[in-house]
Structure 1
């Protein structure tokens, strides 16, 4: 199994980061993508990934929450990181109009600049979108055929948004949100509408602990070792054999990240 979204630099992992990675491997995970959210974290995850070669990979980029902290010109500094073999994608980039931690015009400029950077370097992008669907599509669409691949991670939107993303040939990342019997009902339907060759699974740990996980950890912290639980839930919803699902998603991850 490949976890395409893990926030391993989170302070929640400071006391047992190595053990978290070991538990992930023991649970059957053979690939993890460590997400970056700003310039500093991009450096940190690239260094972390080197500790576990051929298991951990990294992104380099700026999350929309942090768009206010960087200029378009400064993004050029990411090139040296993106040239490293363990750094396999630009991101996490995109738009977040739900919290607006950065001004929307700045979010849009930083998002588009990262798409341009990915196109220049011929690298895939890992993207974030919340309450900004139409602007997200408007900005992404002109760049899509210049990118080797793209994934919208932590997808929780509606059917129209899913169709718009699939029309742009984007991979869809599904988290443990699909395990929530209260808030995840719509996503449970959406996950059956994603083509086999466009589905990716993720924990987004330490966030989004699957609500139906039993027993739950006392810390309420999500870990990559719980990815198998998400696989089983998605396999049940899609009426697929879980082993076949694992093989398909593994192939999707390898193709997207050019591994």
Structure 2
């Protein structure tokens, strides 16, 4: 079993990260894709991939919602291309990236443009380095998939996708993968997406939430 999306660089794990990794391994997790949310986490994730080389694999990206619940802006990703170029041989994916249209984070058209700019930048990097995208799409399933497809994204994992069947179909047609969100057990529509539409492209990895 592989955790396809976790945040082990979060400060809540600073004191007991070795114990967290050991506990995960005891419970059958073979490895984990450790995603960043903020630029200042890149070094920490890289360090985890050094400390636990057969377990932690690095994914770098700028989350659409930054600290203090501020929508991501292009300046948040200013140095990302240079960092990825420098460490390209140690990265397995770009993430966590995407769009988040939750009203408390997204309340202006300018904010939408800024989030889209950051996502497009990561899509370009994905193509340049042949790296998959680990994508966030809360309250923005349709526009996220539109941006991905319009900008040529080919290797995509839609993390914890919670959109509807209509929104999911273009992603399925594009060959994108989906990870299982907690809402899988609560939402009939999300359950239907996975059971009826993802037979071909269903990601055969159960997302084990280390931080739950």
Instruction: Report the TM range for the smaller structure's normalisation.
Output: 0.7 to 0.9
Distance 1:155 1:4, change over 3 A: same
**Aligned residues of 1:60 and 1:82 also touching (Cα < 8 A):** no
Deviation at 1:12, TM superposition (A): 2.9
75-84 or 57-66, which moves further after superposition? 75-84
Residues in 2 aligned to 1:175 and 1:151: alpha-carbon distance in whole angstroms: 12
Taking the TM superposition and a 5 Å limit, the aligned residue runs for 1:41-120 are 41-66=41-66, 67-68=72-73, 70=75, 73-80=78-85, 82-85=87-90, 87-98=91-102, 99-100=104-105, 103-120=111-128
Residues in 2 aligned to 1:153 and 1:14: alpha-carbon distance in whole angstroms: 24
Distance 1:203 1:28, change over 3 A: closer
Distance 1:82 1:187, change over 3 A: farther
Residues in 2 aligned to 1:120 and 1:22: alpha-carbon distance in whole angstroms: 35
Distance 1:93 1:138, change over 3 A: same
4+ residue segments displaced more than 4 Å = none
**Aligned residues of 2:74 and 2:115 also touching (Cα < 8 A):** no
Q: 1:126 aligns with which of 119, 124, 134?
A: 134
Deviation at 1:40, TM superposition (A): 1.1
120-129 or 194-203, which moves further after superposition? 194-203
**Aligned residues of 2:74 and 2:118 also touching (Cα < 8 A):** no
Equivalent position SS for 1:96? coil
Deviation at 1:111, TM superposition (A): 0.4
Equivalent position SS for 2:98? strand
**Aligned residues of 2:136 and 2:159 also touching (Cα < 8 A):** yes
Taking the TM superposition and a 5 Å limit, the aligned residue runs for 1:218-233 are 222=212
Taking the TM superposition and a 5 Å limit, the aligned residue runs for 1:195-234 are 195-199=199-203, 200-206=205-211, 222=212
Runs of 5+ unmatched residues, structure 1: 207-221, 223-259
Residues in 2 aligned to 1:69 and 1:140: alpha-carbon distance in whole angstroms: 17
TM-score (norm 1): 0.70
Specify the alignment match of 1:29 in structure 2.
Answer: 29
Q: 2:148 aligns with which of 136, 140, 156?
A: 140
106-115 or 94-103, which moves further after superposition? 94-103
Runs of 5+ unmatched residues, structure 2: 67-71
Q: CA RMSD in A?
A: 2.2
Specify the alignment match of 1:167 in structure 2.
Answer: 173
**Aligned residues of 1:127 and 1:153 also touching (Cα < 8 A):** yes
Deviation at 1:165, TM superposition (A): 1.2
Deviation at 1:51, TM superposition (A): 1.0
TM-score (norm 2): 0.85
Equivalent position SS for 1:62? coil
Residues in 2 aligned to 1:198 and 1:71: alpha-carbon distance in whole angstroms: 33
Deviation at 1:48, TM superposition (A): 0.9
